[in-house]
Structure 1
Amino acid sequence: MDYLLQVKIGALVALLLLTLFFGFIPARVKWFRDTNGTELHRAVLSLISCFAGGVFLAACLLDIIPDYLSDMKAELAARSVTTSFPLPEFIMAAGFFMVLILERLVLSCRETHGPPEEERAPLLPGRGASPAPEGHHVHVDFQAHSPFRAFMLFLSLSLHSIFEGLAIGLQSTDSKVLEICIAILVHKSIIVFSLSVKLVQSAVRPLWVAAYIGVFALMTPVGIAIGISVMEARLAAGALIQAVLEGLAAGTFIYITFLEILPHELNSPGKQLLKVLFIVLGFSTMAALTFLG
Structure 2
Amino acid sequence: MNLLQSKIFSVVVLGLASLFVGILPNCFGRQGRKQWPLLLSSLLCFGGGVLLSTALLHILPELRESIPEEYKQYVEIVFCLGFFILYMVDEIVHFFYGDTHEANIFHNHGHNNNERRRSSSAKYAYGTMESRHLLHRESSSQASYNPSFYRARSDSVLFCDQPPSQLCHVGHQEPCSAAPTANIGLLAALSVHALLEGLVVGLEGRSDKVLLLLGAISSHKLVVSFCLGMELTSNPLYKFRRHFVYILIFSLGSSGGILVGMFVTNIPTEIKNLLIPILQGLAGGTLLYVTVSEVLPRERARWHQQHEKRGAGLIQFFSVALGFGLMTVLTKYLDYDG
TM-score by length of 2: 0.62
Q: Which one of the candidate residues 58, 62, 75 is aligned to 1:88?
A: 75
Cα-to-partner distance string for 1:62-97 (whole Å, 9 max, x where unaligned): 22211111111xx2x3xxx368xx322221122112
Question: Is the aligned partner of 1:63 residue 2:58?
Answer: yes
**Alpha-carbon offset, residue 5 of structure 1:** 6.6
1:255 and 2:289 matched = yes
Q: Show the 5 A alignment for 1:45-56.
A: 45-56=40-51
Residue 170 of structure 1 deviates from its aligned partner by 1.2
Query: Can you give the 5+ residue segments of structure 1 that lack an aligned partner in the other structure?
Result: 138-148, 201-208
Quote the Cα distance in structure 2 between the aligned partners of 1:63 and 1:18. 21
Q: Which region of structure 1 is more displaced relative to structure 2, 103-112 or 234-243?
A: 103-112
Counterparts of 1:1-293 in structure 2, within 5 Å, are: 1=4, 3=6, 6-7=9-10, 9-23=12-26, 25=28, 37-38=33-34, 41-72=36-67, 75=68, 77=69, 81=70, 86-111=73-98, 116=103, 118-119=106-107, 129=147, 130=149, 132-133=172-173, 135=175, 137=177, 149=178, 152-153=179-180, 156-171=182-197, 172=200, 173-195=213-235, 198-199=236-237, 209-224=239-254, 227-228=257-258, 231-232=261-262, 233=264, 234-236=266-268, 237-267=271-301, 268-269=303-304, 270=310, 271-293=312-334
CA deviation profile, 1:38-83 (whole Å, cap 9, x unmatched): 4x521011111122222222223322211111111xx2x3xxx368
Count residues in correspondence.
Answer: 251
Say whether the 8 Å CA contact 2:55–2:285 is kept in structure 1.
no
Distance 2:102 2:327 in 1: 43
C-alpha deviation, 1:262, in angstroms: 2.5
What is the SS of the residue equivalent to 1:199? coil
5+ residue gaps, structure 2: 110-126, 131-145, 150-170, 201-212, 305-309
CA distance in 2, matches of 1:26, 1:55: 19
RMSD: 3.4
Could you tell me which amino acid in structure 2 is paired with residue 246 of structure 1? Q
Give the distance between the partners of 2:255 and 2:94, measured in 1 at CA: 29
Counterparts in 2 of 1:281 and 1:22: CA distance versus 1, 3 Å: closer
C-alpha contact 1:125 1:132 (8 A) present in aligned 2? no
The letter of the residue matching 1:169 is: L
Higher deviation after alignment, 126-135 or 6-15: 126-135
Change over 3 Å in CA distance of 1:102–1:226 after alignment to 2: farther
Quickly say closer, same or farther: Cα 1:216–1:2, change in 2 above 3 A. Answer: same
Larger Rg: 2
